[in-house]
Structure 1
């Protein structure tokens, strides 16, 4: 249904137009005015957008030509039809200058009125289709550009430019496929929920990324604002879609690129395997890690040990050491207590046969004379843990065999549980070690390989696109086309046609 504003100082003429709209069943909702000033007030009020203005010329207070000028200024895309009993060339010439689409003479011929209005409605519909196509193309180009930035596939200048557009990233992940099935609906839901501007990127069926724009920066001086937004998203995903959604976020301030921040968030989101009760996973530099009073939380150390991320473990331990050395308010008892808790965590991660005696360690801690002795003890235990773990990794972890398994089974609906079961390891350990050894997220590795195989089939066979999608492991053809376009910057059909022309 389209909106039409009918303006005439003759009530009889207005009734005639309303009759014709009803007679020809034109898809129009009519609003009327008896002079130009009344019509202008309705335009200025902005309560509804008028698709068509149908106005007489000669009216008191403001004539139709002046009203048409004001309409063109206030609503450039409104179509204008003038109808008048004055067959004057000057009126017609002025109307053309203003941008009036049509000019009808009184008395109005019903068939001419229906044809003119129908022609304008068709033009409005065509403009809408073109605008929708342009908007869709713009979204696709933006998504491709964002995906390139996430994968660090842009030049430094391009990376800096795109990073300057955003202040924060927010990573969303579900345990089951969600974002491919509910992608558009969920994106619209986010636009309703979130009180800030953002761009949205669907990465995988289980993962998406929100790019929060710079124009919201003033709102995010407090981390609690972002945490509240994350909790709102998680709650909505659970209540309205029945999905558990894990969320973490990070700032793009400083020199960190989108790719670097994404890698940190990706690493943080993987800790959901160990903390299923947490849906909002705060970044390591957040209020979860250290309170304002300087008291140290062991959460970071626990996370690092469970993920076997010894690089982060070393970094976080050194931060704890620096905090305990520099903070003058800590008592000696408190410092020794912190080291005792740290030693417990480190010792528990060693194989039973390699664990030192905790009673003996506690005695050494509480009889030490300075913090340097405690730091040396902790570093020695950490080095022992690293050595034992590296030796175990060499015996147990077969990354190349995992890749071969993926190459042989990519067409099947692979899950983390399937792969982990094939190698007798836990899914969380599989994800963590695969990322550590290859630098690539396991799910991304599988999807990228599927897309690469799909491109080979496009260029070397005449299989239809939907058959190729199914062959390489994608259940949904539309989702396959979307992922292919994000990865290669063009649709499957365009890829095949381009290579054929070459």
Structure 2
């Protein structure tokens, strides 16, 4: 129901308009009145009516001045001016202000209602257009997330110029400009059943973390299975470190409410150039790799880790804690790690032992053989032939020094993860096939969504989005939209069904949204397509 506010200095006319129209019966709410613009303006600001009817000449503040203020403060409010004067200058000024109607007094109730109904139809059409656009943007959000992930990769790999980065960010509505930057990598993991990935806890955590983003000092990037990355910006290094401390405390406050969820974060190195972000990311990745080496929740600062590493003394075998070389750490990494993280994981694994450890020939032989057997065991669990796995004694230089041993361990871990990912990709083919089959059978259901399908195949929405995109080369929402549009084109060309009926048959209950989406994706309206107009 549209709200109407009346401003008229002549009491008799104001009472006549207010009382001689059955507002509710005609679909309107008479929300307020005033005798001049000065009294009316604060009331209009508070009530935010859809339509203001105002006299043009009034004491204290006339209708034109009131219209200027309304246009500035409430641009969506429509204005009808009533005037007993026919001067062209008044009408000219009203048109310039964007007044919807300029009506001559006296005017009876029926005439005013006819004007209101005409204006009401325009308002409803405007509201519908806004709703349609908002729905489209919401449905296309998955594409936006994909582009944000792409932007983050460009930021941390150094493969794009600063100008290209700023341009890509501007398209996404992201302001990257700042004197100082830092990166925090962050991930949560449920300690309950694996299905809890799609439970309320992790979803609520994600919502609360998103609530911390202001778009000005903190920008969030989704890294799919690797969690999230927070890009912090500030005007000075001191401000950046203060922001970093405050932000981490806020994250910890959120996580305190979820005892069954483990979290881990890695803080990078502050940099004062956008092109130096790869350095910050590399430092954050080193700290982040420690999540495979410890069991508790924590957020590690790479700067503090470097300071500790510099304090190490000469290696003594008695200083090695057996728990630090527990192969379950390597097994955990083989299950959940990423190939891009291998270098960081290996470096941090041995840094925890003390870099001096590999200087011992006996210890070097022991640790490389242990990693070899751990990797071989993992590959066998994947039902994969281990014959091609490089053994430590295949090359006599493998155990020659610490660098050679580290390079060997890095190689076989990368080999193992490549085999794992290939096997997973084959399994994901079946998941994507299930999704496509479900879409084929249920595309007419307007409630069909990424969340619904994720629940159907027992994946989290983010995980399914990543898998679907990797396997098909396009986002889920683009695939679904293209599928529905192709079905719609088939029905438009091969049947005489009305566009509104076709809209429902391809999953859009709102025919206006269907027409909007069809034109947006096909470059023409459904009617033009049916008629063969290009």
Q: Normalising by the residue count of structure 1, what TM-score does the alignment of the two structures yield?
A: 0.59
Give me the whole-angstrom Cα distance separating, in 1, the residues matched to 2:89 and 2:108.
20
Give me the whole-angstrom Cα distance separating, in 1, the residues matched to 2:88 and 2:6.
23
Taking the TM superposition and a 5 Å limit, the aligned residue runs for 1:290-369 are 297=308, 316=309, 319-320=310-311, 338-339=313-314, 344-345=319-320
Give me the whole-angstrom Cα distance separating, in 1, the residues matched to 2:210 and 2:30.
29
Per-residue Cα deviation, 1:264-322 (whole angstroms, up to 9, x for no partner)? 545534534554443x4122214xx37xxxxx64xxxxxxxxxxxxxxxxxx4xx346x
The residue matched to 1:55 in structure 2 has which SS? strand
**What is the root-mean-square deviation of aligned Cα atoms in Å?**
5.3
How far has the Cα of 1:202 moved from its partner? 3.9
Taking the TM superposition and a 5 Å limit, the aligned residue runs for 1:191-230 are 192-193=211-212, 197=216, 198-204=218-224, 207-212=227-232, 214=233, 216-218=234-236, 221=239, 223-230=241-248
Give me the whole-angstrom Cα distance separating, in 1, the residues matched to 2:246 and 2:48.
35
Match of 2:371 among 387, 393, 407: 393
Give me the whole-angstrom Cα distance separating, in 2, the residues matched to 1:127 and 1:243.
42
Stretches of structure 2 that go unaligned for 5 or more consecutive residues are: 170-175, 191-195, 327-353, 385-408, 443-447, 490-534
Give me the whole-angstrom Cα distance separating, in 2, the residues matched to 1:495 and 1:453.
21
Give me the whole-angstrom Cα distance separating, in 2, the residues matched to 1:188 and 1:471.
18
Aligned residues: 403
Give the equivalent residue in structure 2 for 1:37: 38
Most deviating of 105-114 and 376-385: 376-385
Give me the whole-angstrom Cα distance separating, in 2, the residues matched to 1:245 and 1:451.
27
Per-residue Cα deviation, 1:27-65 (whole angstroms, up to 9, x for no partner)? 75835443233445667xx66755443322222233223
Shift in alpha-carbon separation, 1:467–1:217, aligned structure 2, 3 A: closer
Give me the whole-angstrom Cα distance separating, in 1, the residues matched to 2:367 and 2:465.
41
Give me the whole-angstrom Cα distance separating, in 2, the residues matched to 1:117 and 1:82.
13
**Is the CA contact 1:147–1:486 (under 8 Å) kept in the aligned structure 2?**
no
Match of 2:457 among 466, 469, 474: 474
Shift in alpha-carbon separation, 1:126–1:207, aligned structure 2, 3 A: same
Give me the whole-angstrom Cα distance separating, in 2, the residues matched to 1:241 and 1:31.
52
Give me the whole-angstrom Cα distance separating, in 1, the residues matched to 2:5 and 2:424.
53
**Is the CA contact 2:36–2:62 (under 8 Å) kept in the aligned structure 1?**
yes
Q: Residue 271 in 1 paired to residue 290 in 2?
A: yes
Give the equivalent residue in structure 1 for 2:125: 123
How far has the Cα of 1:344 moved from its partner? 0.5
**Is the CA contact 1:169–1:209 (under 8 Å) kept in the aligned structure 2?**
yes
Give me the whole-angstrom Cα distance separating, in 1, the residues matched to 2:414 and 2:4.
64
The residue matched to 1:282 in structure 2 has which SS? strand
Shift in alpha-carbon separation, 1:220–1:89, aligned structure 2, 3 A: same
How far has the Cα of 1:386 moved from its partner? 3.8
Give the equivalent residue in structure 1 for 2:9: 9
Give the equivalent residue in structure 1 for 2:414: 437
Larger RCO (CA within 8 A; separation ≥ 6): 2
How far has the Cα of 1:79 moved from its partner? 2.4
Give the equivalent residue in structure 2 for 1:413: none
The residue matched to 2:299 in structure 1 has which SS? coil
Stretches of structure 1 that go unaligned for 5 or more consecutive residues are: 291-295, 298-315, 322-337, 352-375, 406-431
Match of 1:168 among 182, 193, 205: 182
Give me the whole-angstrom Cα distance separating, in 2, the residues matched to 1:238 and 1:443.
34
Taking the TM superposition and a 5 Å limit, the aligned residue runs for 1:416-435 are none
The residue matched to 2:121 in structure 1 has which SS? helix
Most deviating of 61-70 and 88-97: 88-97
The residue matched to 1:239 in structure 2 has which SS? coil
**Is the CA contact 2:268–2:285 (under 8 Å) kept in the aligned structure 1?**
no
The residue matched to 2:268 in structure 1 has which SS? strand
Q: Normalising by the residue count of structure 2, what TM-score does the alignment of the two structures yield?
A: 0.56
How far has the Cα of 1:144 moved from its partner? 1.6
The residue matched to 1:175 in structure 2 has which SS? strand
Taking the TM superposition and a 5 Å limit, the aligned residue runs for 1:278-297 are 278=297, 280-286=298-304, 289=305, 297=308
Give me the whole-angstrom Cα distance separating, in 1, the residues matched to 2:30 and 2:419.
55
Per-residue Cα deviation, 1:57-88 (whole angstroms, up to 9, x for no partner)? 22223322333234334443332232345566
